[in-house]
C-alpha cells in the first residue's frame, strides 16, 4: 500500500554482502553492533512487558526490536488487523523512489534500492518483458556471487528465487550473466537501477479505485504526480504542477486542478476508493510524495487552534525533507524519510504512524558530495545513438498485426490520424509555456506583472481552445474506428465538419496571434533587463520538458495554422468533389487560408527574431545581435586557414555581416566570436587551385581577407551563393546604420585587405576545435548550431522555414539493434530532430536524434528487414530502422525527413557541369 522498499544496509553487520568493499558506506553504529544490540544497549531500561517486534530487512534478515509499552499507543491502529502481538512482522521498505536513482552517490544507498528492485521482481510488482527480467537478474547475480560460473549459477538459482517464472528464462539469465565478467557489485547495482527506472511500473504501488462512471482503475503516486492506470496501462498523469489541491471526503479522493489547466469547468476530479481509511491513506501518501519531491522551503508550523478544529490532524513531519534537499545530501539516508516499515503484501498499514517507531534515529548523515541537479537535463551528443534501451522496451509481436488490420484503411482515416497525432504534440508544446514555464516564473516571482499578463492572457485562450478541439478529434477518431452502426453507415468516417467548425472558431483568435510579435520582443527585453528572469529562463531551458529553445514554443500557434492548411489541402486532393466530406474540408481550408494570409508576413519576421535571440544566447562576444533590420541567412561549419593549417570554425551569415566563431571550452557550451566581416565591399571567389585545398574559397572584405574550405562541393556552393546574394542585398540597402559597422567586443584586430589573414590560435582554441560533445555541458546540445558543428554541415533560414512544414508525430516501431524485436515509441519530428517518447502523454522525451546529415531510404536486401513500411536512417556507421503502420504514414515520414535533411543550393549555377548532378563528394 504505497510503501517503497529497500534494506537499510547501514544497519547490518558489515561484510555480509558477497564482494562488497568493507570500507564503503557510512554507519553510526559501533563495530560489530547491529540494530538490535544498539537498541538493547541504550540507557533506557528494559521493561518486563516490552513487545517484541520482528523487522524483515530487504536482504531477508530479521531484526527483533523490544518496544516499550509507552510506545504501544502508536502501534494500536496498526496491530488491530494482526492475530496477536507475538506474530508481528514488519518489513523495511523504500518509501520514495527517485526518478533517477543513478544520482544516489552512496554505494550502500544504491545497494538498498537494488534490493528493493529484487523484491519487487520476486513479488511481480515490477512487470517487464522476459528479456528485461533476465537482464535484471543477471546483474543481481553478478552483485551477489561474482563472475559467471555455470555450475555455481545453476546451483544458486535453484536455491534463490528471483522471479516466479525463473526456470523458463534461466538460459537467458545465464547468457546475460556471462557478459558481466569483471563487473563490481557497485557497478551491478547501478545497472539494476538504470534498467529499472525506465520501466513503467518502477516504484508503482496500486490503490484500487473507480472513477465517476464506476470503471475499475488503479491509482498510484510518483515523483511526477498522481497516476491513473487501467490494469497495468497508464492512462493519465496529473503532474504536481497542474494540481492545486488534494483532499478526501469519506471514500472520495479529490484532485483539484489549476484553472489554467482545465479552465473554470471540470476542474475537480473524483475517484472512489474502497473505504475511508484506504482513501485517507492514499491521500497521506500523495501529500508525502508532493512534499518530498516538490517542497523547497520548510513551511513554518502554524499555531494550534485553541478551540476545536476540523479536518485531518495528519501533517507531514519528516523534518521538511524535500527531494532537492535529499539530493543535495546524496539522499543522505534519512531513515524515516526515504525508508519506511510496511506490512507483508496485502495487509494495510498506516505508514505515517509506523514511521514514528524510530523517534530518535541516529542516522541523519551530513552531505558527503555535491550533486549536480542539472545532470539529467544536459544534452548528449547528437552523434551518439538515442538512449533507448533494447532491454526495457515493449516488444511488438506478430499478433499485433491482426489488431492493426481491424482499423479503417482509407487514406482519409490516416490523414485524420495525422491531425490527431500532431494536435496532441501541439497541445503538449503549449503546456510548456502555459503550465511549466508559468510555474517556474511564479515560483521565483521572476516576471513583472505586466509581462505576465501580456504573455499568458495571450496564450491561455489559445490553449483552452485547443484542449476542447483535441477532445473533439479524439471522439471522432474513436467513432471512426468503432464497430457501431454509425461506423457501418459511415456517418463518422469524416473529419471535415469538425475542422470547419473549429477553424471558424479559431478565426476569433487572430488578434491574439498578431500580438505574438510584441510578446517575443517584450520577453527578450525583460530577460536582458532582469537578471532573475534571465536566470529562471536559462534554467528552465535546461529542463527536459523544454526540449527546444524556449521562445520556439511561442511560434507554435501561428505555425500550427500552416499545418492545418497543408493537411486540409491534402484531404481536398484526396476526396472527389462528390464525397460528402469534400465541401466541409474545402470550406475549412478556405477559412484557414484567410488566417495564414494575414499572418504570413508576421511569421517570417517572428522566425527571424526567434533565431536571432537564440543565437544571442549561444554566442559569446556580441550584445546587439537583434539589431533592427538584421536578418539571419545561414549558419554552419567551415575550415579557416590559419598559421597552424585549417581550423574548424562556426560561421554565421547575416544580412549585414559574417561572423566566425570557435566552440568554447567552458561549461556553457557556447561559441566564442573570433571576428566579423561587414558585407559592404565584400568579394567572394573560388580559390581551390591556388591553395591546393578541396572546396576552398576566399572572402575579401574591407577589414581582412580569409581563406575557408567547405566539407563538400555542395556545401561550398551553398555558402558562395548565399554570400553573393547577401552582398548584393547589402549594396542595394540605403541603410548603413552605425550599429551594423560597429566593431564587436573581443573581435581580433583588422588584417590586411590584400593578403590572407593568418590568425594566431590560442591553446584553448586549439583544444576547442577538437572538443567532444561527450564533455558535460550546461547548454542544450541538439540545437542546429551544435549539430552543424559536429556534422560539418550548414543550415539556412530557408531550411528553417521549410522545416516548419515538416513536422510530424505518431507511433513508430523502432527495430532493436541486436535482435529482431521492435519497440513501440511515440515519435515527434520537429526542428530537424526526432524526439522519442514512451507514449504521447509523456511530458518530456526519452532521447533525441538530430537528423542533419542523415540519409533516409528504404531498406535493402542486405539489411534483412522482412517487414512492410520500414524506412532506414543512416549517418556514416549510425543506422536505424523504423516501421510505420500504413503505406500513407510510411510515405509521410519519408517525405518530411527527406525535405528536412536534404538541403540543395538554390541553384546549380555555381557548380561545373560534371558536378551539377552530384549532391556530395
Taking the chain (921 residues) in consecutive chunks of 10 residues, what is each chunk's mean pLDDT? 34 36 38 49 50 80 72 44 59 85 77 91 89 92 91 92 90 92 88 88 92 88 89 84 87 84 64 92 90 63 49 49 40 42 43 31 27 30 43 46 60 94 95 92 91 90 92 89 59 90 90 85 91 92 90 92 94 93 95 91 89 88 86 93 88 94 70 89 82 85 89 92 92 57 42 33 33 37 81 90 88 87 93 92 90 91 90 91 94 91 52 40 37
Residue identified by cell 549536480 is 372
* Nearest-angstrom CA–CA distance, 7 and 113: 8
Is the dihedral angle over the CA atoms 133, 138, 139, 145 positive or is it negative? positive
The closest alpha carbon to 756, from 636, 643, 638, belongs to: 643
Strands of 855-857's sheet in order across: 847-850, 833-837, 822-830, 808-815, 878-883, 870-875, 855-857
Q: Is the separation of the CB atoms in 637 and 793 below 8 Å? A: yes
Residue written as grid cell 554570400:
723
Q: How many helices (H) and strands (E) does the chain have?
A: 30, 27
How are strands ordered across the β-sheet holding 216-221? 233-239, 225-230, 216-221, 207-210, 268-273, 252-257, 243-249
**Bridge partners, residue 696, by sequence:** 709
pLDDT at 668: 64
How many CA atoms are closer than 13 Å to the CA of 690, on its beta-carbon side?
Answer: 11
| Sheet strands (E) in 557-654 | 619-620, 632-642, 645-654
Predicted pLDDT at 483: 56
Sequence length of the chain is 921
Q: What is the pTM of this model?
A: 0.57
Q: SS3 of 501, please?
A: helix
Distance of alpha carbon 121 from the chain centroid = 26
The neighbouring-strand residues paired with 699 are 684, 706
Q: The C-alpha cell of 607 is what?
A: 522566425
pLDDT at residue 54 in the model: 82
3-state secondary structure of 47: coil
Q: In angstroms, rounded to a whole number, what is the distance separating the alpha carbons of residues 547 and 348? A: 41
Return the pLDDT at 292: 84
* Distance from C-alpha of 770 to C-alpha of 647, rounded to nearest angstrom: 9
The radius of gyration of the chain's CA atoms, rounded to the nearest angstrom, is: 31
**What is the predicted pLDDT for the residue at 901?**
76
Instruction: Write down the pLDDT at residue 145.
Output: 92
Cβ 548 vs Cβ 473: under 8 Å: no
pLDDT at 425: 95
Q: Round to whole Å and give the CA distance between 71 and 550.
A: 54
Let me know: does 415 contact 817? Beta carbons within 8 Å.
no
List phi, psi (to 5°) of 378: -75, 145
Say what angle helices 496-506 and 556-574 make with each other, to 10 degrees: 150
Residue 386: which of 825, 919, 885 has the closest Cα? 825
Ramachandran sector of residue 319 (left: φ over 0; alpha: ψ -120 to 50; beta: rest)? left
Amino acid at each position: 500500500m504505497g510503501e517503497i522498499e529497500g534494506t537499510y544496509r547501514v544497519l547490518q553487520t558489515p561484510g555480509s554482502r558477497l564482494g562488497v568493499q568493507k570500507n564503503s558506506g557510512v554507519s553510526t553504529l559501533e563495530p560489530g553492533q547491529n540494530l538490535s544490540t544498539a537498541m538493547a544497549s541504550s540507557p533506557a531500561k528494559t521493561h518486563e512487558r516490552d513487545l517484541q517486534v520482528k523487522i524483515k530487512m530487504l536482504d531477508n534478515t530479521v531484526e527483533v526490536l523490544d518496544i516499550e509499552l509507552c510506545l504501544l499507543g502508536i502501534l494500536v491502529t496498526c496491530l488491530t488487523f494482526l492475530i496477536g502481538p507475538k506474530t508481528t512482522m514488519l518489513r523495511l521498505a523504500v518509501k520514495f523512489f527517485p526518478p533517477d536513482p543513478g544520482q544516489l552517490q552512496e554505494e550502500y544507498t544504491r545497494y538498498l534500492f537494488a534490493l528493493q528492485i529484487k523484491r519487487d521482481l520476486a513479488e511481480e510488482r515490477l512487470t517487464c518483458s522476459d528479456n528485461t527480467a533476465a537482464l535484471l537478474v543477471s546483474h543481481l547475480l553478478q552483485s551477489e556471487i561474482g563472475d559467471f560460473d555455470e555450475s555455481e549459477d545453476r546451483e544458486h538459482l535453484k536455491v534463490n528465487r528471483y522471479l516466479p517464472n525463473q526456470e523458463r528464462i534461466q538460459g537467458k539469465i545465464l547468457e546475460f550473466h556471462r557478459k558481466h565478467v569483471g563487473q563490481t557489485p557497485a557497478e551491478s547495482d547501478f545497472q539494476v537501477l538504470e534498467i529499472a527506472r525506465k520501466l513503467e511500473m518502477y516504484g508503482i504501488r496500486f490503490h484500487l479505485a473507480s472513477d465517476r462512471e464506476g470503471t475499475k482503475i488503479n491509482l498510484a503516486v510518483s515523483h511526477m504526480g498522481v497516476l491513473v492506470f487501467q490494469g497495468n496501462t497508464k492512462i493519465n498523469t496529473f503532474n504536481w504542477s497542474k494540481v492545486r489541491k488534494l483532499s478526501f471526503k469519506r471514500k472520495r479522493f479529490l484532485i483539484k486542478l489549476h484553472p489554467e489547466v482545465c479552465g473554470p469547468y471540470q476542474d475537480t476530479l473524483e475517484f472512489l476508493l474502497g473505504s475511508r481509511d484506504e482513501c485517507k491513506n492514499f491521500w497521506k501518501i500523495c501529500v508525502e510524495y508532493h512534499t518530498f519531491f516538490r517542497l523547497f522551503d520548510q513551511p513554518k508550523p502554524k499555531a494550534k487552534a485553541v478551540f476545536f478544529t476540523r479536518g485531518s490532524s495528519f501533517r507531514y513531519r519528516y523534518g521538511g525533507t524535500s527531494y532537492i534537499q535529499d539530493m543535495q545530501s546524496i539522499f543522505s539516508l534519512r531513515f524515516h524519510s526515504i525508508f519506511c516499515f510496511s506490512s507483508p503484501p496485502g495487509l494495510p498499514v498506516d505508514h505515517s504512524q509506523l514511521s514514528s517507531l524510530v523517534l530518535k534515529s541516529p542516522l541523519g548523515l551530513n552531505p558527503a558530495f555535491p550533486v549536480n541537479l542539472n545532470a539529467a537535463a544536459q544534452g548528449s551528443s547528437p552523434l551518439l545513438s538515442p538512449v533507448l534501451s533494447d532491454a526495457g522496451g515493449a516488444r511488438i509481436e506478430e499478433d499485433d498485426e491482426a489488431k492493426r488490420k481491424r482499423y479503417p484503411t482509407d487514406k482519409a482515416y490516416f490523414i485524420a490520424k495525422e491531425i490527431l497525432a500532431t494536435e496532441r504534440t501541439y497541445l503538449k508544446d503549449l503546456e510548456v509555456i502555459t503550465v511549466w514555464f508559468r510555474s517556474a516564473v511564479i515560483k521565483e516571482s521572476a516576471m513583472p506583472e505586466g509581462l505576465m499578463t501580456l504573455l499568458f492572457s495571450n496564450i491561455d485562450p489559445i490553449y483552452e481552445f485547443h484542449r476542447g478541439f483535441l477532445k473533439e478529434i479524439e471522439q471522432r477518431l474513436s467513432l471512426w474506428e468503432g464497430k457501431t452502426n454509425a461506423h457501418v453507415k459511415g456517418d463518422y468516417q469524416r473529419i471535415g465538419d469538425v475542422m470547419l467548425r473549429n477553424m471558424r472558431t479559431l478565426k476569433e483568435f487572430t488578434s491574439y496571434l498578431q500580438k505574438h510579435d510584441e510578446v517575443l520582443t517584450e520577453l527578450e527585453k525583460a530577460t536582458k533587463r532582469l537578471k532573475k528572469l534571465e536566470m529562471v529562463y536559462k534554467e528552465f531551458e535546461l529542463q527536459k520538458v523544454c526540449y527546444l529553445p524556449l521562445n520556439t514554443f511561442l511560434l507554435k500557434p501561428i505555425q500550427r495554422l500552416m499545418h492545418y492548411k497543408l493537411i486540409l489541402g491534402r484531404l481536398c486532393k484526396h476526396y472527389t468533389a462528390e464525397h460528402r466530406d469534400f465541401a466541409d474540408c474545402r470550406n475549412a481550408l478556405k477559412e484557414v487560408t484567410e488566417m495564414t494570409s494575414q499572418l504570413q508576413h508576421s511569421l517570417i519576421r517572428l522566425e527571424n527574431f526567434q533565431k536571432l535571440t537564440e543565437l544571442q544566447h549561444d554566442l559569446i562576444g556580441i550584445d546587439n545581435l537583434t539589431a533592427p533590420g538584421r536578418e539571419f541567412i545561414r549558419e554552419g561549419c567551415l575550415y579557416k586557414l590559419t598559421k597552424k593549417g585549417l581550423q574548424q570554425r562556426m560561421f554565421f551569415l547575416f544580412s549585414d555581416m559574417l561572423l566566425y566563431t570557435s566552440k568554447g571550452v567552458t561549461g556553457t557550451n557556447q561559441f566564442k566570436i573570433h571576428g566579423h566581416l561587414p558585407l559592404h565591399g565584400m568579394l567572394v571567389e573560388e580559390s581551390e587551385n591556388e591553395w591546393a585545398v578541396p572546396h576552398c574559397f576566399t572572402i575579401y572584405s574591407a577589414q581582412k581577407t580569409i581563406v575557408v574550405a567547405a566539407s563538400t562541393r555542395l556545401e561550398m556552393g551553398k555558402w558562395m551563393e548565399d554570400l553573393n546574394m547577401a552582398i548584393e542585398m547589402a549594396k542595394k540597402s540605403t541603410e548603413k546604420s552605425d550599429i551594423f559597422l560597429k566593431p564587436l567586443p573581443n573581435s581580433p584586430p583588422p588584417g590586411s585587405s590584400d593578403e590572407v589573414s593568418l590568425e594566431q590560435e590560442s591553446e584553448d582554441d586549439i583544444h576547442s576545435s577538437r572538443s567532444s560533445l561527450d564533455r558535460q555541458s550546461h547548454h542544450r546540445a541538439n540545437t542546429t548550431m551544435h549539430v552543424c558543428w559536429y556534422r560539418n554541415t550548414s543550415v539556412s533560414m530557408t531550411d528553417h522555414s521549410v522545416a516548419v512544414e515538416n513536422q510530424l508525430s505518431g507511433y513508430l516501431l523502432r527495430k532493436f539493434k541486436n535482435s529482431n524485436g521492435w519497440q513501440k515509441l511515440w515519435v515527434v519530428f520537429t526542428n530537424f530532430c526526432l524526439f522519442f517518447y514512451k507514449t504521447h502523454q509523456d511530458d518530456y522525451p526519452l532521447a533525441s536524434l538530430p537528423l542533419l546529415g542523415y540519409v533516409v531510404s528504404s531498406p535493402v536486401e542486405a539489411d534483412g528487414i522482412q517487414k512492410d513500411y520500414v524506412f532506414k536512417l543512416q549517418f556514416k556507421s549510425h543506422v536505424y530502422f523504423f516501421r510505420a503502420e500504413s503505406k500513407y504514414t510510411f510515405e509521410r515520414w519519408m517525405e518530411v525527413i527527406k525535405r528536412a535533411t536534404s538541403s540543395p543550393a538554390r541553384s546549380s549555377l555555381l557548380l561545373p557541369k560534371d558536378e551539377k548532378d552530384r549532391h556530395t563528394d
